[in-house]
């Protein structure tokens, strides 16, 4: 059922928001392909740290000059210690653990597999909502979960190559971190005590900075090349800073459910780009698995929406 408040939104505004959402989907679908290309020149933690900390530096001037509007949201310097702690946890979960494990796993996984796995994030959120909110799932959510598991089985039914099982397990840890990030980020956003640009930029600084420090300790000083720096700048400017700003702008008009359904299309975009740019090929059953997964995850989110559960505007890519 469409909420009555949605009728108050002009059609042109909704079309622009949907267009922005689809653009974000395309940009984030390409992230996995560009990360795979970047891993040729840089080690995974180094690539992740440079991407997210550079994006933080790009967004930092916006946080410095934007104050609260009419006293509704405090400027950066007036944030309480509690909110600084939450922003640190968001950055730790989203970028240090979540994307750190994803970048590491992409050494062994195809770009499409990485995108496919990331689409599963609503599933741990589904279980965390049961544990945290003590809310039982609807029948629609149970059906959606079973459909999603079926899609995963189809996708991996051709088997996995060497190193892939370990990589999937490591990325699985990251999925749990992304789920916590989604809930924490939504709680902060709903409180409306932190400006959107601050909620976007400061976790990037915390999480990206931590990954960069870990990279220096574990991987050592990077050997930079012009191609590697170009990929880092592309990922930081377009796939991170611009994409997150577009995402948050679209959420002013679209519900979190609508936005997440659009983002669920990312594996199809990644698979297409990976076939063109990386020569990654999939068999027919894997394409079917992706479509089944998209349907299943969308049903899980739709069922949660109908039950009145928390909207999770998780962002990643």
The rounded distance, in Å, linking the Cα atoms of 134 and 147 is 23
Q: Which range, 5-14, 157-166, 188-197, is most confident?
A: 157-166
Q: Is residue 43 part of a domain?
A: yes
Q: Is residue 316 part of a domain?
A: no
The rounded distance, in Å, linking the Cα atoms of 190 and 193 is 8
Number of domains in the chain: 1
Q: Can you give the C-alpha Rg of the chain in angstroms?
A: 19
The rounded distance, in Å, linking the Cα atoms of 131 and 237 is 37
Which is nearest to 175 in space by CA: 295, 53, 93, 52? 93
Q: Is residue 63 part of a domain?
A: yes
CA of 254: how far to CAs of 17, 78, 172, 199, 267, in Å? 7, 30, 29, 18, 21
Boundaries of domain holding 213? 4-306
Give the residue with greater pLDDT, 127 vs 49: 49
Contact in structure between 211 and 95 (CB atoms under 8 Å): yes
Is it the case that residue 68 has pLDDT exceeding 50?
no
Q: Is residue 233 part of a domain?
A: yes
Q: Is residue 297 part of a domain?
A: yes
Q: Is residue 312 part of a domain?
A: no
Give the mean pLDDT of the chain: 81
Proportion of the chain above pLDDT 70, given as a percent: 80
Contact in structure between 111 and 89 (CB atoms under 8 Å): no
């Amino acid at each position: 059922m469409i909420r009555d408040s949605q009728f108050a939104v002009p059609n042109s505004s909704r079309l622009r928001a949907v267009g922005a959402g689809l653009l974000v989907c395309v940009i984030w679908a390409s992230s996995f392909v560009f990360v795979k290309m970047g891993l040729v020149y840089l080690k995974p933690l180094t690539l992740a740290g440079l991407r997210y900390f550079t994006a933080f530096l790009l967004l930092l001037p916006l946080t410095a000059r934007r104050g609260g509007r009419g006293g509704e949201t405090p400027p950066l310097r007036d944030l309480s210690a509690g909110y600084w702690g939450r922003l640190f946890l968001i950055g730790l979960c989203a970028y240090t653990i979540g994307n750190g494990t994803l970048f590491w796993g992409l050494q062994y996984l195809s770009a499409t597999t990485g995108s496919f796995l990331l689409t599963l994030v609503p599933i741990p959120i589904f279980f965390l909502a049961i544990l945290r909110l003590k809310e039982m799932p609807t029948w629609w959510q149970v059906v959606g979960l079973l459909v999603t598991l079926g899609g995963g089985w189809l996708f991996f039914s051709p088997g996995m190559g060497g190193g892939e099982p370990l990589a999937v397990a490591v990325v699985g840890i990251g999925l749990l971190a992304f789920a916590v990030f989604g809930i924490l980020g939504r709680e902060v956003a709903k409180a409306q005590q932190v400006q959107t640009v601050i909620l976007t930029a400061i976790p990037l600084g915390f999480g990206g900075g931590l990954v960069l420090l870990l990279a220096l300790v574990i991987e050592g000083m990077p050997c930079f090349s012009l191609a590697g720096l170009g990929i880092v700048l592309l990922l930081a400017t377009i796939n991170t800073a611009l994409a997150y700003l577009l995402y948050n702008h679209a959420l002013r008009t679209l519900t979190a459910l609508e936005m997440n359904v659009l983002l669920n299309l990312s594996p199809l975009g990644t698979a297409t780009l990976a076939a063109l740019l990386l020569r990654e090929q999939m068999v027919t059953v894997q394409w079917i698995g992706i479509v089944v997964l998209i349907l299943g995850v969308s049903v899980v989110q739709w069922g949660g929406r109908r039950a009145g559960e928390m909207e999770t505007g998780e962002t990643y890519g």
